[in-house]
Amino acid sequence: MNQKIIIGNWKNYLNYEESIHLSKKISKINISNNVRVMVSPNHLYLNEINQIFNETNIEVIAQNVTSSESKSDTGGITVSNLKNLNIKRSIVAHSESRIREKNPQKVLEEIIPIAYQFVLCFEEIDQIPFNLLTNKFEIILAYEPVWAIGTGETASIDHINEIHKKVKLKLEDFSLEIPILYGGSVNPSNSRDILESDYVDGVLVGGASTKIDHFEGILNSI
């Protein structure tokens, strides 16, 4: 069985103490070999949280990146700085950051040539720049219908499979091997069905990933 990828996107739900506390709790969970886990805390806490997970298989990833090299990018997050903290991957184009950054393709054009790993969120298939994607380093896609994010309204399994299947066929046309996660109101009650669906390679979890019992329930659901 292929490993499923489970990402906890903590967004800006947690303050410093809560983030450290949650990290310590998660680092003690006994995680099955079936799953690969990533957590994405607030940028301000990346360094310290990365150290907490240092001895585990859990990867700490950034929530956003805005440019590759050091430059005049006030308020931005650069690949240089992320690499400096040993953060090897970032979420890109999450719908909540797309509100601020209208053109995520620009950042992809900067980070793909330097092979910086990312999790690209999309809501519509035409938001995926298939021609820019590559198998040369690990890229992950995440289907995140905006109406399902933080609303408690999870997409149906049929809907998720329909979209993921379309994207997988398109990826095949470009000879790309890229896993596709689903995100949007994933919780411990629906995670098993979603993770066991044919076209789903994992889940991107927001709210439920900030509560230890919920996140543990999701991690243990397969």
207 lines the binding site for ligand PGA (CB under 6 A): yes
List the interface residues with ligand PGA, window 88-147 (CB under 6 A): 144
Cβ atoms of 114 and 102 within 8 Å: the answer is no
| Binding positions for ligand PGA, 4-33, rule CB under 6 A | 9
107: phi then psi, degrees, rounded to nearest 5: -70, -35
Helix (H, G, I), strand (E, B) or coil at 149: coil
- Is residue 188 close enough to count as binding ligand PGA by CB under 6 A? no
Name the DSSP class of 218. Answer: H
The count of residues interacting with ligand PGA (CB under 6 A) is 13
Q: Does 63 bind ligand PGA (CB under 6 A)?
A: no
Token pair belonging to 69: 């090299």
Q: Is 150 in the site for ligand PGA (CB under 6 A)?
A: yes
Q: How far is the CB of 112 from ligand PGA (least distance, A)?
A: 22
- Name the token pair of 166: 């379309």
Choosing from 205, 214, 218, 221, the residue that interacts with ligand PGA (CB under 6 A) is 205
Angle in degrees, 0-180, between the axes of helices 16-27 and 212-219, rounded to the nearest 10:
30
Can you give the binding site for ligand PGA, defined by CB under 6 A?
9, 144, 149-150, 183-186, 204-208
